[in-house]
Structure 1
Amino acid sequence: MDWLGTVLDYSKEFGEVAVFGFLFAGFLQAVARPTVVARYLSGYSLWRANAIGATVGFFTPLCCCTAIPTALALWRGGSRPGPACAFLIATPWFNWYGLVALWIFLGWQMALVVAGSGVFIAFLTGMIIDWQSPNERAPRPLPTDVPETVCTTTSCSVKSGSACCSTVDTDGSGEFFDFSHLWQKLQMAGTNAWALARELLPWIAAGILIGATVKTWLPTAWISALEIRGWLTPVLALVLATLLYADSLGSLPLVNALLQKGLGPGNGMILLIAGVGSNIATLGPIYREMGTRVAILYACCVMTLALLLGILWNLFL
């Protein structure tokens, strides 16, 4: 009964975020023109372009099947690889409705740690990639449709050609938002919200069940024994996050349960973030579009920075 009660508690906490979060995210996705971001990044200095890429990525509520082609649109539109990668790291794993869920599950301090670390990792990874990449590159035409190879290689449950797998800015307008044909936009918002829910809910459900199991039956002494080992625990957390990559929202119940058992906050942050750098669905398009060097830098930077920040947060929190 304790396990079932924990499952219900986790489900209730997610329900407080999911309904409004998915609907509002769907509406923003319907009225926003993702490819316009490419114009904002063009011509800016290296640090500013990567800062914009990471920040815009954090506030843009895109599911993975839309985030990947949007990042590729930035790259093909003449952006350096760094801002495109910074955008891709910061969304969809780190975003405003994810921040609300983090706040509810892990508290405001842990929420700010994870969100701030995510944006910082996105920014610094983009900077490192740009430092190691050629400075000049001719822009390629922006796609108006998502390549089939992108949609079919992601972990999304939505089908290629659905509203979630389409870009928006096809009329050449420079405005970031488009509120014309509002009724159609509202219908599209509902479709986008459902597509986002279809992608994330299986991960969330799995996370709730695993988190409830850990919280109910995992002996606290096991976690305490791991924490005594100091630097080894963050490394183990990194390996676990790499092998068992899941959506960050779906990982929240598991991390919540482990933190209550005594896991260090930095190690919890690693579990939530490090899998981004080893996700084959993301690394595949990066490898095909930007090359082996960028893909390796992307993975190594995300995992290394997550490990270093995790050790740092363990010392100060």
Structure 2
Amino acid sequence: MEYFKNLWELFVDMSFYMIIGLIFTGILHVFVNKNLILKHVGNKTTASVVKASVIGVPLPLCSCGVVPTAIQLGKSGASKGAVVSFLTSTPQTGIDSIIATYGLMGPLFAVYRAIAAFLSGIFSGIMTNILCKNEEATPEKLKPSGCSHAKAKTKSCGCSQAKAETKSCGCSHAKAETVNLSFIEKLKSVFSYGFGKFLDEIAEHFVIGLLVAALISTLLPEQWFSNFTNPILNMIMMLIIGTPMYICSTASIPIALTLIAKGISPGAAFVFLFAGPVTNIASVTILYKALGKKALIIYLASVAVCAVTFGLILDFIINTFHYQGIAVVGQIHAHEHPGYMVVLAILFGILVLRSLIKKYTTKKIDNTCCSH
């Protein structure tokens, strides 16, 4: 019962900030012009590396969704450095996770996370441009890997019926045309994207993150990580755990929050927040084909160096200024939730459940040919 209590408390705390974040996600999707992004980033200057990092920070793209977007940047003439900069800064955070981080972990963590994403994007991009100076980005080598590239095909299953099918994993990369829509129609698009397509994409990872966080909170005794006193080793451990995982920037928040409650330093928890969303085994394989061996090594090394460096800096800031603004799970559970948060959590839970049902129902239909 303790497990389900912890799970419910975490879910209620996150739901309010997730709802706000998804609204802003929809606003970005509807009102930000994708062609404008390509115009600013699609060249081979150092400024494009900086712009790629700036643009990447608020964009709500997971490490799955960021890959085809980065491909388009390369096809638009962006240097390898700009592509790597975008790949580094974008998955770390987004408008949804910034708001959720602020609500659950405090303003320092939220601001620091965005700054770290921005600076690490610039660092990895510039290093790539320097060390791959005479190489061109070749994203055209990349083959689809599960993230949709809107490929329509006709599929027959022997039942004398042809079905037009669009392959998709939920990572909606194609921006709907909204130029000629009225304001009311755009407003509807904000909610249909934020609580529809985007939530469909992250719902599974969000739930997994909550389940893991509640499990850690239930099984590990308080201050368990305080037995491991070497901060560098703790950060390396978080780096090893986070790097191969596929977890979005929002789903990593409850896990990091619970790790802090169990005695790990905020800096080590930050390493997990940093490395978890940026890299995973699948994306590494894809990027090897897209960028080449040298650029991939630079990318991974930059992620590792930046994650540990920013983790150490965060611990230094917190210890030096005796910052007490980071909430931990025990503190969150110590208060009663107001009624409106419980109501919002129930409504958000229904939306998450709908997204999960839609996802797995679609998978079942796609894998079943006329049910015989």
TM-score interval for Structure 1 and Structure 2 normalised by the shorter chain? 0.7 to 0.9
Q: Letter of the aligned partner of 2:101 in structure 1? A: L
Matches of 1:74 and 1:124 in 2, distance apart?
A: 18
- Structure 2 residue aligned with 1:14: 14
- Structure 1 residue aligned with 2:58: 59
- Structure 2 residue aligned with 1:179: 179
Name the stretch that deviates more: 202-211 or 26-35.
Answer: 26-35
Matches of 1:197 and 1:97 in 2, distance apart?
A: 11
Q: Secondary structure of the residue that 2:77 maps to in structure 1?
A: coil
Q: Contact conserved, 2:252 with 2:276, CA < 8 A, in 1?
A: no
Q: Does 1:94 align with 2:93?
A: yes
- Structure 1 residue aligned with 2:353: none
Q: Which has more helix, going by share of residues?
A: 1
Q: Contact conserved, 2:43 with 2:76, CA < 8 A, in 1?
A: no
Matches of 1:273 and 1:81 in 2, distance apart?
A: 21
Check 1:121–1:3 CA distance in 2 against 1; reply closer, same or farther (3 A cut): same
Q: Secondary structure of the residue that 2:241 maps to in structure 1?
A: helix
Q: Contact conserved, 1:277 with 1:303, CA < 8 A, in 2?
A: no
- Structure 1 residue aligned with 2:282: 281
- Structure 2 residue aligned with 1:308: 309
Matches of 2:41 and 2:245 in 1, distance apart?
A: 34
- Structure 1 residue aligned with 2:207: 205
Check 1:32–1:135 CA distance in 2 against 1; reply closer, same or farther (3 A cut): farther
Matches of 2:285 and 2:36 in 1, distance apart?
A: 24
- Structure 1 residue aligned with 2:366: none
Check 1:138–1:241 CA distance in 2 against 1; reply closer, same or farther (3 A cut): closer
Q: Secondary structure of the residue that 1:151 maps to in structure 2?
A: coil
- Structure 2 residue aligned with 1:175: none
TM-score (norm 1): 0.82
Matches of 1:159 and 1:138 in 2, distance apart?
A: 26
Deviation at residue 197 of structure 1 after TM alignment: 0.9
Greater Rg by CA: 2
Q: After superposition, what is the alpha-carbon deviation per residue over 1:210-262, rounded to whole angstroms, capped at 9, x for unaligned? A: 21222233113421111x12321111111111244422211211111111222
Matches of 2:87 and 2:125 in 1, distance apart?
A: 10
Deviation at residue 186 of structure 1 after TM alignment: 5.0
Q: Contact conserved, 1:82 with 1:127, CA < 8 A, in 2?
A: yes
Deviation at residue 78 of structure 1 after TM alignment: 0.8
Q: Contact conserved, 2:44 with 2:79, CA < 8 A, in 1?
A: no
Q: Contact conserved, 1:163 with 1:192, CA < 8 A, in 2?
A: no
Matches of 2:42 and 2:242 in 1, distance apart?
A: 34
Check 1:147–1:35 CA distance in 2 against 1; reply closer, same or farther (3 A cut): farther
Matches of 2:295 and 2:35 in 1, distance apart?
A: 21
Q: Contact conserved, 1:270 with 1:310, CA < 8 A, in 2?
A: yes
- Structure 2 residue aligned with 1:251: 252
- Structure 2 residue aligned with 1:240: 241
Check 1:138–1:60 CA distance in 2 against 1; reply closer, same or farther (3 A cut): closer
Q: After superposition, what is the alpha-carbon deviation per residue over 1:26-49, rounded to whole angstroms, capped at 9, x for unaligned? A: 342134332432211345741x22
Q: After superposition, what is the alpha-carbon deviation per residue over 1:174-216, rounded to whole angstroms, capped at 9, x for unaligned? A: xxxx532246655554453212112212211122122122223
- Structure 2 residue aligned with 1:172: none
Q: Letter of the aligned partner of 2:147 in structure 1? A: C
- Structure 2 residue aligned with 1:260: 261
Contiguous gaps of at least 5 residues in structure 1: 170-177
TM-score (norm 2): 0.71
Name the stretch that deviates more: 213-222 or 186-195.
Answer: 186-195
Matches of 1:138 and 1:250 in 2, distance apart?
A: 31
Check 1:271–1:192 CA distance in 2 against 1; reply closer, same or farther (3 A cut): same
Runs of 4+ in 1 over 6 A off after TM superposition: 138-141
Q: Letter of the aligned partner of 1:7 in structure 2? A: L
Deviation at residue 282 of structure 1 after TM alignment: 2.7
Deviation at residue 313 of structure 1 after TM alignment: 2.3
Contiguous gaps of at least 5 residues in structure 2: 150-165, 319-372
- Structure 2 residue aligned with 1:104: 103
Deviation at residue 149 of structure 1 after TM alignment: 4.1
Matches of 1:22 and 1:121 in 2, distance apart?
A: 25
Q: Letter of the aligned partner of 2:122 in structure 1? A: F
Matches of 1:81 and 1:223 in 2, distance apart?
A: 39
Q: Letter of the aligned partner of 1:11 in structure 2? A: F
Q: Letter of the aligned partner of 1:19 in structure 2? A: I
Q: Contact conserved, 2:29 with 2:175, CA < 8 A, in 1?
A: no
Matches of 1:296 and 1:72 in 2, distance apart?
A: 18
Check 1:250–1:140 CA distance in 2 against 1; reply closer, same or farther (3 A cut): closer
Task: Write out aligned runs for 1:33-72 (5 A).
Answer: 33-42=33-42, 45-46=45-46, 48-72=47-71
